[in-house]
Amino acid sequence: MFQFIPIMNRVFHHHILRSLVAFFPHIRFQSHGLLSKAFSRIPTRHQPHRHHNYNDNDNGNGDPKNQKPWNEAFGSRFQLHKSRGQHLLTNPRILDSIVRRANIYPDDTVLEIGPGTGNLTVRLLQYASKVIAVEIDHRMVDSLLGRVSQLGLADRLTVIKENALMTKLPPFDLCVANIPYGISSPLIAKLLFETRPPCFRTATLLLQKEFARRLLAMPGDSDYNRLAVNVGLVANVEFLMDVSKKDFVPSPKVDSTLVKIRPRDEVPVVDLDEWQAFIRTCFSKRNKTLGAIFKQKKKIAELLERLKKKKEKEEEEEDDDDDDCENGEAEVGGDGLEVGLFKERVIGILKSGGLEEKRPSKLSNEELLHLLQLFNKEGIVFH
């Protein structure tokens, strides 16, 4: 009977092996020098689970456009901190799409904030003349420099080891970045308002989805807010695509959205510091009417105090001090305005523009600009 075992039907042999593996997963069974194909299809406790993005490895040679992305999970060899917004994009299709949608010209200098280990950087280097990467984590910097050197692209990469919010950014044509969620708002403000007018053509940014919704909001939307108002004054924001949280390592709690920010060619003539202070006042209670907002005692007192300081400054510049101020209190244009009278004056301005019953969350930038001009015409300033 035993002499028939070597010539057993192969299919029956595989069924036996499958049964044995099911009961003894820690033992590897082999027959006639061939591992059963059935065994390879049965997971064991010693077979590590692999994320679907981890199978794409970059060998560091050849054209990066044709390479698979860097193995972030196993190749970086250091811990990524979610608390610092260190979520590395690993999906090659999404990375390629970001570069394509950025519309990079061959002579462009591209700014990248938070390059990580270079998944996006190596792609940008294939299309741009130069890439400037700003990264604060020295571990990321070492990994990025090593990777780019292996690819022979180090001569076109400049790395700034600084906090992007604290350092002065060099001139650049485009900004393309998967920026840490925690610095999204101040970074966009830095890009758009630190240098006026902005020196760049567009900023293609991967943002937290909820934040991007607020950035894209229009008057009347439930998400309309100060951020959208301030950015909308100086730039246009375009939705490009959503990106799943599964495309990152480690996976964040929320999905992301890719947007493109284009600075406007023409911006209204307005003091941006005062504009932002004015918008901060209006949106302190964005769903209340402007009349209700400006009737608050605190708001009236702040505006009145600012008006007094403005008058003091004007008198000092004219060298017209008449020493009529006692205990540090300045005279207000000779009117002796009381808080109650000043409040009536403010409400009168709102009524003259037909805006007393309007809510700031429903107003366009043109309407808000008009209101600010009405206040300034009456000598009332916000900064």
Specify the domain boundaries for CATH 1.10.8.480 within the chain: 272-319+329-377
pLDDT for residue 317: 67
Tell me what pLDDT residue 69 has.
39
Query: Is residue 155's pLDDT more than 90?
Result: yes
Report the pLDDT value the prediction gives residue 319, as an integer from 0 to 100. 57
Bridge partners, 263 (sequence order): 235
Does residue 188 have a pLDDT over 60?
A: yes
Q: Is 331 annotated as a binding residue?
A: no
Q: What is the pLDDT of residue 77?
A: 56
Look at residue 204 in the predicted model and tell me its pLDDT. Answer: 98
103 is an annotated ligand-binding site residue? no
Residue 306's pLDDT band (cuts 50, 70, 90)? confident
Please report the pLDDT score of residue 83 as a whole number: 57
pLDDT at 2: 43
Given a cut of 50, whether residue 296 has pLDDT beyond it is yes
Q: Is 87 annotated as a binding residue?
A: yes
Stretch 86-107: mean pLDDT, rounded? 95
CATH class of 272-319+329-377: mainly alpha
pTM over cut 0.85: no
CATH 3.40.50.150 in the chain is located at 64-263
Q: What does the pLDDT look like over 23-67, one tens digit per residue? A: 444 444 444 333 333 333 333 333 333 333 323 333 333 444 443
Quick one: average pLDDT of 145-151?
Answer: 94
Closest CA to 204 of 188, 217, 189: 188
Q: What is the pLDDT of residue 94?
A: 97
- For residue 87, the model assigns a pLDDT of 83
237-292 pLDDT, tens digit per residue, is: 999 999 999 999 888 899 999 999 999 999 999 999 999 999 999 999 888 999 99
pLDDT of residue 325: 44
* Residue 61 known to bind ligand: no
- 89 appears as a binding residue in the annotation: yes
pLDDT band at 174 (very low <50, low <70, confident <90, very high): very high
Q: Which position has the token pair 């209190």?
A: 329
Is residue 82 very low, low, confident or very high in pLDDT (cuts 50, 70, 90)? low
Q: Give the pLDDT band of residue 297 (cuts 50, 70, 90).
A: confident
Residue 321 pLDDT more than 60? no
Give the 3-state secondary structure of the chain. Answer: CHHHHHHCCHHHHHHHHHHHHHHCCCCCCEECCEECHHHHCCCCCCCCCCCCCCCCCCCCCCCHHHCCCCCHHHHCCCCCCHHHCCCEECCHHHHHHHHHHCCCCCCCEEEEECCCCCCCHHHHCCCCCEEEEECCCHHHHHHHHHHHHHCCCHHHEEEECCCCCCCCCCCCCEEEEECCHHHHHHHHHHHHHCCCCCCCCEEEEEEEHHHHHHHHCCCCCCCCCHHHHHHHHHEEEEEEEEECHHHEECCCCCCEEEEEEEECCCCCCCCHHHHHHHHHHHHHHCCCCHHHHHCCHHHHHHHHHHHHHHHHHHHHHCCCCCCCCECCECCCCCCCCCHHHHHHHHHHHHHHCCCCCCCHHHCCHHHHHHHHHHHHHCCCCCC
| pLDDT class of 89 with cuts at 50, 70, 90 | very high
**Mean pLDDT of all residues belonging to the chain:** 79
CATH of 64-263, one of 2.70.70.10, 3.40.50.150, 3.20.20.70, 3.40.50.1100: 3.40.50.150
**For 196-252, how does the pLDDT look when each residue is reduced to its tens digit (9 = 90+)?**
888 899 999 999 999 999 999 999 999 999 999 999 999 999 999 999 999 998 888
Q: Judge whether residue 84 has pLDDT over 50.
A: yes
